[in-house]
Structure 1
């Protein structure tokens, strides 16, 4: 953890930013949102047509990983930082009514929106809980797959997040995610900036360190690829990306 980072302020900044995403997806952020982004990253338009539009409008993911995780009917899936629920709904379509999808998020506006959309859309196999991804309130070996999109970089306790993901997965379970990493070590001025953390930049780990942290939790990293179609949109964020090689990757690991 970065010693000079005010983690209380970070949580406040993250909740504020993603409350705005939930309530006004057309707002100005450091990052893109919505369907055009999702399709460019690799989401199937036919699948998106079956997902609640409001969830897609609030989509703020950084990559695509569903081809890596290959969800199957009947599986139990956990989405870390589920936001307005788009990835939960995509996962639910794959696991069908015989499977279950659980989302965890700490931003009340996102939770309320995702729950409403699940009810209105008839996604009876999707549940959303209020919680922190560093402290999952689930029993050991409760899930077949854990997924996450653009969220783990927001946590100052990444090792704990991956240890928790490992704990709740069945033996042979899969961790599939998209996240923001960097080629070079970020300076303390960026790593201690809560606004840049909330924008998915300040918390970016060097990619080698990121995969080592996953492996230290017990996982085997099976595949990692860069998402070249993802880019930040604000000048401040773009400058940091160019200078320190901040980029999006998708990854598959197995327990």
Structure 2
């Protein structure tokens, strides 16, 4: 994390931005949202038919990774930074009523919205906890798979996030994430900008460093692929992406 970026200020900025995402899907953000984005990234329209519209409208993911996650009926899944619940509900469909999906998010408005959507739409296998992905409120070896979409870049403690994901996975468990990385080291002016950090740019790690963090936590990286369909939409964000090679990737890794 940038030495000049205050951790509390970053958390306030991220919470404020994603409160707004939960409450107003048609607001002006640095990033695209909604069904068109989801389908372009690779989400199956047949799955989206069963996902609550309000969750799709607030979807702000950066890639698709459920093919990498290889979820099966009856499995237990954890979604890091679950937002309004889009990936919770897709995972819930994949593991069926015999499995369970748990989301964890630090933003009150997102947690409340996802809980209401799960209850109102009959997703009895979905639950949501308020918490931090750097300090997960779960026992060791609790999950078969951990997924996350466009969230880990927001953390100033990425190594801790991957270590926690490793801890809560069962032996042989899988990690499947989509996230924002950069080809070049970001300058201090970008890394210390809380707005660009909250927009998924300032906290982007270089791709080699990102996979190093995952392997240091005890995973073996299986696959890394770029998501060229994902683009930031504000001029300020797009300029930073073009200059420093900021882009979306999806990857899978296994717990050794």
Shorter-chain TM-score bucket reads: over 0.9
Residue 8 of structure 1 is matched in structure 2 by 8
Partner Cα distance (1:213, 1:53) in 2: 35
Partner Cα distance (1:47, 1:193) in 2: 37
Partner SS for 2:102 = strand
With normalisation by structure 2, the TM-score equals 0.99
Residue 196 of structure 2 is matched in structure 1 by 196
Residue 49 of structure 2 is matched in structure 1 by 49
Partner Cα distance (1:3, 1:253) in 2: 30
Partner SS for 2:83 = coil
Partner Cα distance (2:89, 2:51) in 1: 6
Partner Cα distance (2:69, 2:151) in 1: 17
Residue 164 of structure 2 is matched in structure 1 by 164
Residue 58 of structure 1 is matched in structure 2 by 58
Partner SS for 1:203 = coil
- The CA RMSD over aligned residues, in Å, is 0.4
Q: Report how far residue 231 of structure 1 moved.
A: 0.1
Partner SS for 2:172 = strand
Partner Cα distance (2:214, 2:70) in 1: 20
Partner Cα distance (2:3, 2:133) in 1: 20
Q: Report how far residue 5 of structure 1 moved.
A: 1.1
- Unaligned 5+ segments in structure 2 are none
Query: What stretches of structure 1 move > 6 A for 4+ residues in a row?
Result: none
Partner SS for 2:212 = helix
Deviations along 1:211-249, whole A, 9 cap, x unmatched? 000000000000000000000000000000000000000
Residue 253 of structure 2 is matched in structure 1 by 253
Residue 138 of structure 2 is matched in structure 1 by 138
With normalisation by structure 1, the TM-score equals 0.99
Partner SS for 2:231 = coil
Q: Report how far residue 99 of structure 1 moved.
A: 0.4
